[in-house]
């Protein structure tokens, strides 16, 4: 059952919404199309697991920051690894 308990220790960081491939500048995402809850947006609670009230099972997926810095595109970090392996 989804709850608001942190899924990682308090001293461990997660990327945060702005570094997620699903993040939209209006503070929404596919999991929270109305608005990302303040508990997640503030970093108080991570979004590495499904949370109450969200749509579907989408959770934090880190962007490739190098691609984002060069192009502004939010592509998954694992995409470059997959391309390099091919």
Domain residue spans of the chain: 14-86
What average pLDDT does this structure show over 13-36? 95
**From residue 28, how far is each of 17, 41, 42, 48 by CA, in Å?**
9, 10, 13, 16
Supply the pLDDT for residue 12: 86
Supply the pLDDT for residue 10: 84
- Asked if residues 14 and 20 have their Cβ atoms less than 8 Å apart, the reply is no
Residues 38-85: pLDDT tens digits?
Answer: 999 998 999 999 999 999 999 999 999 999 999 999 999 987 655 555
């Amino acid at each position: 059952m989804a709850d608001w308990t942190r899924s990682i220790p308090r001293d461990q960081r997660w990327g945060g919404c702005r570094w997620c491939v699903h993040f939209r500048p209006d503070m929404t995402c596919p999991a929270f199309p109305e608005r990302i809850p303040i508990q997640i947006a503030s970093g108080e609670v991570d979004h590495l697991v499904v949370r109450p009230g969200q749509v579907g099972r989408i959770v934090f997926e880190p962007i490739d920051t190098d691609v984002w810095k060069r192009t502004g595109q939010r592509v998954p970090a694992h995409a470059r690894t997959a391309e390099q392996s091919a």
